[in-house]
DNA sequence: CCAGAATTAATGCAATTGCATCTATATAAA
DNA sequence: TTTATATAGATGCAATTGCATTAATTCTGG
């Protein structure tokens, strides 16, 4: 647990598991969405944030903070979402540079359809494999790996 | 823990943590490598497998099994590695379709230089934040999320 | 008010990924 | 054998990502 230049075997193993499992889970969920003829996970992340934000919408830079996507990535993802009619871009009164992104009814519907599949993946891949206590344990331990670290 | 169409709050939170933390950690490690003027993590994964395989090398399809990369991805990654002189492609005696990939001295050296940085990232991001017991707990819990699930 | 720095978002271009397909060889079946 | 099927790996083309830069405001210090 002390600062080392070379990681302990335990740290290496935990890291390896984390890398491998997260990749597998993402791949599985992504595949399930694709089979359902739905957009990729990244779209869900954004639609989810926007749905939670409600009518007020969010500024692109707020989406960046919340989702950890790169700026250019959000910029283009929003362009695609807008082209598909899932979000709309509104000028923002007090800042001529910016815009507010609001989810449309269509967007909410797509998000719901995605959740039907995405949620099932989560239930199957994670919910069905660990008990509630174990899941809480995972959340707590992973929470300590955040940047910046937190305990929550 | 039972099969549900809709995931429990605990499952959702654990999933969210896993997605977010893994992305953050990857990003951090990737950035550290870039700052060191070194190739991306994907290269390390392949070089690592090849280094472990030794002089006998590995067939591309074996790399696919071990790393979970897509076939076309490995095909092109190997082309880049070869172009950089980090691996060499050898014809394989008993199968005219295939080839054996072997890491070169240069490749071993690059892998070592990458590990100096990558290993430090693992130590800092994971090793320094959880005790050995906690790391083992993480490994065990994540191990149960693998596909197919295992206990190890 | 004005010049310089900072912030918000978009974009040109190169590299990578994803998809579908293709070539070549090996294996199985008739 | 001959033919059909499966496996190993490469590749054309479209979509996405990453990088660097740009354009348009807004903010800040004289």
For residue range B116-138, list pLDDT tens digits in order: 999 999 999 999 999 999 999 99
Report the candidate in B42, B60, B67, B54 with the shortest Cα–Cα distance to residue B101.
B60
In this predicted structure, the answer to whether residue A151 has a pLDDT above a threshold of 80 is: no
> What tens digit of pLDDT does each residue of B58-113 get?
999 999 999 999 999 999 999 999 999 999 999 998 999 999 999 999 999 999 99
Tell me phi and psi for residue A2, to 5 degrees: -80, 160
Average pLDDT of A53-81? 96
Among the residue ranges A103-107, B3-7, B12-16, the one predicted with the least confidence is B3-7
Indicate the DSSP class of residue B79.
H
What is the spatial distance between Cα B119 and Cα A4, in angstroms, rounded to a whole number? 9
The separation, in Å, between residue A98 CA and nucleotide C12 C1' comes to: 22
Nearest chain A residue to B41, by CA = A19
What is the spatial distance between Cα B42 and Cα B66, in angstroms, rounded to a whole number? 12
Report the candidate in A24, A16, A149 with the shortest Cα–Cα distance to residue B118.
A16
Q: Where are the beta strands (DSSP E) in B8-129?
A: 87-91, 99-103
Q: Does B70 touch chain A (CB under 8 A)?
A: no
Average pLDDT of A7-28? 96
Look at the pTM and tell me if it is higher than 0.85.
yes
What is the spatial distance between Cα A139 and Cα B10, in angstroms, rounded to a whole number? 8
């Amino acid at each position: 647990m002390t600062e080392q230049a070379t990681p302990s075997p335990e740290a290496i193993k935990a890291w390896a598991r984390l890398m491998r499992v997260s990749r597998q889970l993402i791949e599985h969920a992504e595949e399930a969405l694709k089979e359902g003829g739905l957009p990729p996970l990244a779209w869900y992340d954004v639609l989810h944030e926007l749905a939670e934000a409600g009518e007020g919408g969010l500024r692109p830079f707020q989406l960046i903070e919340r989702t950890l996507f790169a700026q250019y990535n959000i910029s283009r993802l929003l362009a695609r979402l807008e082209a598909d009619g899932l979000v709309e871009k509104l000028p923002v009164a007090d800042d001529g540079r910016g815009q507010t992104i609001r989810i449309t009814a269509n967007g909410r519907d797509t998000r719901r359809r995605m959740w039907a599949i995405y949620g099932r993946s989560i239930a199957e891949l994670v919910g069905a494999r660990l008990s509630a206590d174990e899941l809480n344990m995972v959340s707590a331990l992973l929470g300590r790996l955040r940047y910046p670290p937190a305990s929550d």
